[in-house]
Amino acid sequence: MLTTDRAVERLTENHTVRLNGAEYECTALLTQLREAIASSTGASGGSEGGGLMNLAALTLWDNIDGVARGWQQTFWAGHRGELAQVIRRLPRLIQAAHVLNEIDDALRGRLDALFATWVTQIEDLFDPPRVQELTAPCPTCGERYHQKVTTDERGAVIETVRMAAVIIPVKSGRALVAECRSCGMHWGTERDLSALAAGMGIEADVAALQKLLTISS
């Protein structure tokens, strides 16, 4: 997983990404997200795909903005400033709150993980991973399936799709992580993945699975 510093850099600054032995110069992810929201294709609704991308980008922006400003205000730092400024400031506020025992180790870990999560969410918006579905029930919440509900701007249901609850997003250069769509549980380490397999009644060689997914991606 990305360090907090590296995640903040990707979110707020132009940066270099190394993939498959090559280096690529990338615009700050928040800038990419803002441009997707303001793109003429999405704004004009000229194509269904553009409109959906525009809506997804706006929804993701609002979620990141709300969470980041909410925690900044929780730490008595107000909620003003550009989103990039808020995100640059937030790690220091989290660290200070932890030093002052205002938050415990577990919450500190969850808050630190937010930045890498935002990086993943934005990158996946523009370059979605291939999803491997596991059909056994989630050992944490017991759900085998998850309902994805699509609504229009008025909140009316357009479509309901049933899909596997536990999935493994597969993407070149990304560590193998399983997640449950229903309860949000993640399994990222080899021990976690082995425990997941055991909990689902699956015999799994994690090293072999990682190699297989790398080849198939």
Q: What is the pLDDT of residues 65-87, one digit of tens each?
A: 999 999 999 998 877 889 999 99
pLDDT tens digits, one per residue of 152-173: 667 777 778 888 999 988 887 7
- Higher per-residue confidence, 212 vs 118: 118
What element of type H or E holds 151? strand 145-151
Q: Give yes or no for residue 91 having a pLDDT over 60.
A: yes
Query: Which is more confidently placed, 208 or 152?
Result: 152
Q: Which amino acid is at 171?
A: K
How does pLDDT run across 14-47, given as a tens digit for each residue? 998 877 677 888 999 999 999 999 874 444 444 4
At 60 the pLDDT is: 94
Confidence at residue 104, expressed as pLDDT on a 0 to 100 scale:
95
Question: For position 45, what pLDDT does the model report?
Answer: 45
SS3 at position 66: helix
